[in-house]
Structures are given as C-alpha cells and as structure tokens.
C-alpha cells in the first residue's frame, strides 16, 4: 500500500514539475506584465472605479445575467479565498522562504490585469442561449417553460431575445475560445479551429478535475485534519470518528447550496465572504500589532530574500532565489487563480451588458486575495518564527528502528507550552535528513512510540521521545536508514496547521480554534464556487444533462476528501491541473486582447466624460 502511494505521489510530483516548468512561470508573469502595460496599468482603474461598480451604482436591472456585480465578485472570491490563503501561504513560506511572499505580491498585482482581461472576455463572448439547469428547476423564473429553449429538435429563441431562465448565461475560457476563435475560424475554413477546440476541451477537462481536487478534496482534507487535531482529538461518538459525521454535515450543506445553481451560490457568497474576510484579517492584525516592532524587519527580509538565497534555520533548509520565485508564483496562482480562467466562469453570470465593467470588478479579486489576505498569513508566519520550525530535539540513538530523541533545551518560551502539548497529543515527528534544499523534500515523518515525561506536563518535564521507524507500511525504510544520531527533529506541522500554530504563539487558542473556524468557512466557500466551475466544464463537454450527475459526484467527493488520511498527492494533482488551465487559457487571452483594449478605450472614454448611466 505504501509502495503504491509512493508511486502515485511520484507521478503527481512529476506532473507538477512538467507542467510548472520555468516556461509556464515566465508565460504567466510575461502576460501579466504585458497586459498591465498595454492596458495602461488598468490596476489604477480597478482600485478607483471598482468600488462604484460593486456598490450597485451601475447595476441595471434590465441587463442580461443572473447575479449582481458584488455577488459575482463574492462568488469568485468565495473560490479564491480558501485554503490557499492559509495552508498555501504556509507551504510557500516554509518551502520558499520569505522571498516567496514578494513573488506572491508580484503575481497579485499582475494578476489584477490578467483577471481584468479574461473576465472581460468571459462577458464579451458568453453564451446567452443555454438551456435551464436541470438540477435547479425550482429556481427557474415563471416564464422559463413558456419560452422556446435549445432542446434538441426545437427552434432557438429569436436573436436578441432576453434570456430569463437560470441556466441561460454561461461563459468562461472554453466559451470565449468557442465563440471568438473556434466558430469564426471554422466558418472561414481555417484549420486552426481544431487547435483552439482542443484547448477549449482540455480546459474544460482540467477544470472538472481541479474542481474535485483543489476545489474539493484538498479543502475537505484540511477541514477534517484541523478539526481532528484541534477540536476532536481521539474523541468518538458511539464508536464513530467525528470526522465522518463532519463529512456528512459538510456534504449536506454543500449540496443544499449548489443545487440552487449560481443564483444561490452568489447569494450565500455575498454574505459569507465579507464576514470571513473580516474575521480572519482581524485575528491576523491582532497578532501583527502585538509584534509591530518586528514588522519592518520582516518586510525587509521579504524583499531581500526575493533576490538573494535564504540561509537555513530550524526545519527550514535554506533555498535559492529560484525556489522562492517558483513557490511564490505557484502558491499565488493557486490562491488568486489569475490567468487560470476559473473566475471568468463566475463573472460571466453577472447581470451587465458592459464587459469592461465586469472586468474591473474581477480585477479587485487578486488585490483582496493576495495583497491583503495572503499577506496577513505570511506576516503572522514570519513574525512567529514558525516557518522555520525550531527543533524539538536531537536524535540521541538509533537501534533497529527505535529512535530516541533528546529534548531541545533552547526552545523559546513562546513555543514551550505548544511543543509540550503537540508532543503529548500528536502521532508523528519529522526527522531532518539533509540541508540545503526545501524542507518539503528533506525530512521524514516518523510515528511517536512513547514520551518520557515528568508529572508536571511542561516542556521542561519532557526527557526523551521515542520514535518507531520499523514499520515498512508507515515509514519508507530506505529513508529511515539515513537517520543518524545528531540529526534535528521537528514538529510534524504543515499547511493550515502551521498557520494555526503561528497564531497560537501570540495567544493560545487563537490558532487552535480561530484558524480552525476560518478554515471551515474558507473551505466551504471554495467548495460551493468550484462546484459551479466544474459544472460549467461538465456542461461544455457533455451538455446540460451532465450537470446533475456532476453535482451528485461532487458531493460524494466532499465526503471522501474529509475522510482521507493523506492529501499531498491530491495537492500535487491539483497543482498540475491548475497549470494546465493556465496553459490552455492564456494563448486565447493573448490573441483576443486587442478586442478588450478597444472596448476598454470606449468604456473609459464614456466613463470619464460622464456618459455612464447610474442607477442609485
């Protein structure tokens, strides 16, 4: 079983390395820079005009679409503000060092221009003659059944007819490829239509796969792991582990939202997203303000580490500039989804006949997600020092798989109570095998066999910890053979758990309960929006009849993700499909960008001259 898991993990890792090669990073950054320049740094317009758009000032109730500008933004943010902001930032900082934060900022700023372009195209070339979603009949408007829809064998609506049924607006990269490239090229007899059709299909497939991975199982695994570690522990209800009950509850709640389609997703997201953003930022600011004197130092370290190698320390094994660059870009793209094209599907449903306006609204997303939320997480991790994971102890002896670890007497006071609690209640520690590479590839998780501790229960009462590396089903024996006396041993914390630990170093319980609650909110919001993205991919590939089976399958995967034991392989597969979405989307955006620029010139000219009608 371990060998199979290792093979699957290797395949996933190889896929990530193949897709996320240097060329894709430079394509992503290059497009962001290009779009920023040719749009005359539309980021300024986004930050100045964006608020007026989401406030409802320009919402025309007669425009085509299903949700308001604000609901569209919240639906998109619902997907992007998720575990990437908590767990993803922890991975970026612990593997890529402080310099990774700088490159996350770069992607965030350039991502505003990327989102502007792709979401403008999504509205500009959306399909407004779709059939109603068969999974949400209760939300169809009263006159839906009386209209002639695109059922096989029936006549389509008259050109220009206002679509009113829930499912009649759909868009996203596969649709602007289809309507702006595939159909015109095919009509002219240009064989290149085949290329863009393949890209559209690949994008839809990657979207579906990513909706089950990063948009579903990864989120559920983190919720389950956080609740088990910090709330439930070993407690059982009638002999059943609580994670199974939580998985059932989560699956039910997700089903209740997604069955209502984009309208219900938009309504829920517009209430949930503002609350969870304020909740998380308030907690992070509490930690940061308690260490305000250290903030300038770490801001400087972020800029310095972006261009110079970062030295090792604790479980952080030291990184090159390239690793910092790679981790920052990958995690930021996973977090804010700029260039990925996913948010374009939510913004395509916005009630507007002004594509540029929705592009402006979409551009706000990366600013909130990366520049604000991710920065909060990164500063908390850096200020606390948790990103380096100071050593628990040193390997004293190794005997036939039994590893005795002596306590580290130099653990800082702010960590001691947390270290004692984790050593007593956790099941694994990590032995640092090598230095000079990222922590992700340099340590080995080994189960705790026993803890020799005095009656006090404090860190000073811990004498030794014995690890058991003898079981080949739980520990890779080849790696275990590398363990030698003198090696450092660290806590087995990563992802969201590391971020929670960082919060707890300032105020015990803030991470354990506050971050755990935030993880639940963030994961739930991501699931409901990614279900819509995957639904649109399924609909493009298989037609409206695939929507209800897809939603049923999505809910099953919510449950499965929350009862899994390991998430690393799922995480890698999600990274690979994210990269594939970027690869399919950006060529189309590049080719169609002149259409966006012409529309933007016209829109902003009307805006500046006061011709834009307001609905206040």
Same domain, 315 and 448: no
From the list 214, 193, 9, 8, the residue with the least C-alpha distance to 591 is: 193
From the list 149, 247, 100, 305, the residue with the least C-alpha distance to 561 is: 247
What is the four-CA torsion angle of 365, 369, 373, 379, rounded to 10 degrees?
-130
Same domain, 378 and 405: no
For residue 406, the cross-strand partners are: 394, 464
User: Where residue 456 sits, what CATH number does that domain have?
Assistant: 2.40.10
Same domain, 427 and 373: no
Which of 461, 492, 523 is where one domain is finished?
A: 492
Residue 525 lies in a domain: yes
In angstroms, how far is CA 240 from the centroid of its own chain? 30
Same domain, 432 and 566: no
| Structural domain count, the chain | 2
Angle at 196 between CA 195 and CA 199, to 5 degrees: 95
Domain span holding position 360? 2-130+174-385+510-608
Whether 550 and 534 have beta carbons less than 8 Å apart is answered as yes
State the residue for tokens 């005997």: 399
Residue 520 lies in a domain: yes
Q: Tell me how far apart the alpha carbons of residues 294 and 48 are, in angstroms, rounded to a whole number.
A: 32
Residues 6+ apart with CB under 8 A from 22: none
Same domain, 332 and 417: no
Which of 462, 492, 522 is where one domain is finished?
A: 492
Residues 6+ apart with CB under 8 A from 586: 27, 28, 31, 339
Residue 566's pLDDT is: 62
User: 606: buried, middle or exposed (CB in 10 Å: 19+, 13-18, 0-12)?
Assistant: middle
Same domain, 223 and 358: yes
Residue 503 lies in a domain: no
Residues 6+ apart with CB under 8 A from 278: none
Angle at 136 between CA 134 and CA 137, to 5 degrees: 75
Residue 162 lies in a domain: no
Residue 500 lies in a domain: no
Q: From the first residue on, what is the mean pLDDT of each consecutive set of 10 residues in the chain (616 residues)?
A: 50 69 80 91 91 83 80 85 79 80 87 93 81 46 40 49 54 92 91 93 92 86 81 71 86 90 85 88 91 90 78 45 70 74 89 90 90 90 81 83 83 77 73 52 73 76 83 80 82 79 84 86 89 91 88 92 70 76 91 93 89 72
Whether 27 and 335 have beta carbons less than 8 Å apart is answered as no
Whether 208 and 533 have beta carbons less than 8 Å apart is answered as no
User: 307: buried, middle or exposed (CB in 10 Å: 19+, 13-18, 0-12)?
Assistant: exposed
Quick one: tokens of 579? 């990269």
Residue 311's pLDDT is: 46
Same domain, 377 and 285: yes
Q: Tell me how far apart the alpha carbons of residues 586 and 589 are, in angstroms, rounded to a whole number.
A: 5
Which of 492, 526, 553 is where one domain is finished?
A: 492
CA atoms within 13 A on the CB side of 33: 7
Quick one: tokens of 45? 């317009």
Q: Tell me how far apart the alpha carbons of residues 239 and 115 are, in angstroms, rounded to a whole number.
A: 48
Distances (CA, A) of 401 to 215, 444, 475: 39, 13, 10
CB atoms within 10 A of CB 476: 15
Same domain, 333 and 399: no
Residue 130's pLDDT is: 47
Residue 241 lies in a domain: yes
Q: Tell me how far apart the alpha carbons of residues 85 and 530 are, in angstroms, rounded to a whole number.
A: 16
Q: Tell me how far apart the alpha carbons of residues 286 and 78 are, in angstroms, rounded to a whole number.
A: 24
Same domain, 428 and 346: no
Q: 311: helix, coil or strand?
A: coil
Same domain, 232 and 354: yes
User: 478: buried, middle or exposed (CB in 10 Å: 19+, 13-18, 0-12)?
Assistant: exposed
User: Where residue 234 sits, what CATH number does that domain have?
Assistant: 1.20.1740
From the list 370, 380, 288, 373, the residue with the least C-alpha distance to 98 is: 380
For residue 467, the cross-strand partners are: 403, 448
Residue 565's pLDDT is: 67
Residue 141 lies in a domain: no
From the list 379, 350, 207, 363, the residue with the least C-alpha distance to 286 is: 379
pTM of the entire predicted model: 0.81
Residue 114 lies in a domain: yes
Same domain, 223 and 364: yes
Quick one: tokens of 176? 């602007």
Same domain, 466 and 375: no
- Which DSSP string do the residues of 125-185 spell out, in sequence order? T-B--PPPPTT-GGGS-TTTTTS----TTSPPPPTT----STTS-B-SHHHHHIIIIIHHH
């Amino acid at each position: 079983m371990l060998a199979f898991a290792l093979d699957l993990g290797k395949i996933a890792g190889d896929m990530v390395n193949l897709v996320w090669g240097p060329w894709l990073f430079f394509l992503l950054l290059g497009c962001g820079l290009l779009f920023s320049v040719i749009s005359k740094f539309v980021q300024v317009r986004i930050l100045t005009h964006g608020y007026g758009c989401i406030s409802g000032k320009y919402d025309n109730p007669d425009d085509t679409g299903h949700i308001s500008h604000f609901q569209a933004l919240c639906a998109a943010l619902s997907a992007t503000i998720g575990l990437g902001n908590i767990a993803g930032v922890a991975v970026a900082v612990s593997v890529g060092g402080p310099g990774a934060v700088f490159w996350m900022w770069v992607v965030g700023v350039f991502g505003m221009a990327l989102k502007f372009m792709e979401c403008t195209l999504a509205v500009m070339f959306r399909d407004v003659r779709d059939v109603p979603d068969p999974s949400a009949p209760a939300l169809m408007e009263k006159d839906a059944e009386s209209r002639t829809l695109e059922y096989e064998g029936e006549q389509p609506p008259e050109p220009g007819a206002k679509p009113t049924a829930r499912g009649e607006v759909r868009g996203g990269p596969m649709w602007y490829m289809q309507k702006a490239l595939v159909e015109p090229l095919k009509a002219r007899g240009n064989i290149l239509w085949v290329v863009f059709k393949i890209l559209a299909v690949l994008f839809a497939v990657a979207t579906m796969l990513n909706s089950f991975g990063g948009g579903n199982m990864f989120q559920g695994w983190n919720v389950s792991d956080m609740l088990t570690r910090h709330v439930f522990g070993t407690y059982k209800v009638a002999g059943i582990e609580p994670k199974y009950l939580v998985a059932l509850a989560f699956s039910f709640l997700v089903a209740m939202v997604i069955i209502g389609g984009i309208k219900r997703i938009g309504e829920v997201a517009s209430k949930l997203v503002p609350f969870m953003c304020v909740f998380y930022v308030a907690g992070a600011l509490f930690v940061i303000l308690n260490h305000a004197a250290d903030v300038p130092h770490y801001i400087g370290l972020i800029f310095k580490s972006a261009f110079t190698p970062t030295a090792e320390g604790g479980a952080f094994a030291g990184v090159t500039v390239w690793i910092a660059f790679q981790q920052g870009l990958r995690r930021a793209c996973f977090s804010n989804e700029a260039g990925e094209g996913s948010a374009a599907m939510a913004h395509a449903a916005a009630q507007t006949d002004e594509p540029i306006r929705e592009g402006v609204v979409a551009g706000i997303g990366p600013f909130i997600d990366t520049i604000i939320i991710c920065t909060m997480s990164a500063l908390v991790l850096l200020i606390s020092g948790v990103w380096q994971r100071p050593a628990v102890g040193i390997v004293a002896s190794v005997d036939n798989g039994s590893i005795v670890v002596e306590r580290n007497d130099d653990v800082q006071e702010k960590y001691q109570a947390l270290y004692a609690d984790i050593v007593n209640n956790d099941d694994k520690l990590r032995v640092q095998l090598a230095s000079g590479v990222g922590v992700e590839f340099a340590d080995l998780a080994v189960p705790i066999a026993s803890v020799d501790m005095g009656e006090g229960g404090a860190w000073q009462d811990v004498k030794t910890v014995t690890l058991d590396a003898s079981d080949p089903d739980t520990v890779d024996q080849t790696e275990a053979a590398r363990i030698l006396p003198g090696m450092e041993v660290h806590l087995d914390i990563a992802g969201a758990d590391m971020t929670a630990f960082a919060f707890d170093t300032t105020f015990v319980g803030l991470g354990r309960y506050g971050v755990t609650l935030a993880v639940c909110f963030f994961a739930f919001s991501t699931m409901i929006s990614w279900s819509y993205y995957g639904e649109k991919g399924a609909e493009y590939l298989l037609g409206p009849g695939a929507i209800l089976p897809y939603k049923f399958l999505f809910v099953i995967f919510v449950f499965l993700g929350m009862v899994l034991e390991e998430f690393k392989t799922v995480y890698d597969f999600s990274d690979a499909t994210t990269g594939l979405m970027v690869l399919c989307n950006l060529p189309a955006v590049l080719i169609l960008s002149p259409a966006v620029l012409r529309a933007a010139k016209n829109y902003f000219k009307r805006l500046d001259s006061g011709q834009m009608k307001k609905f206040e």
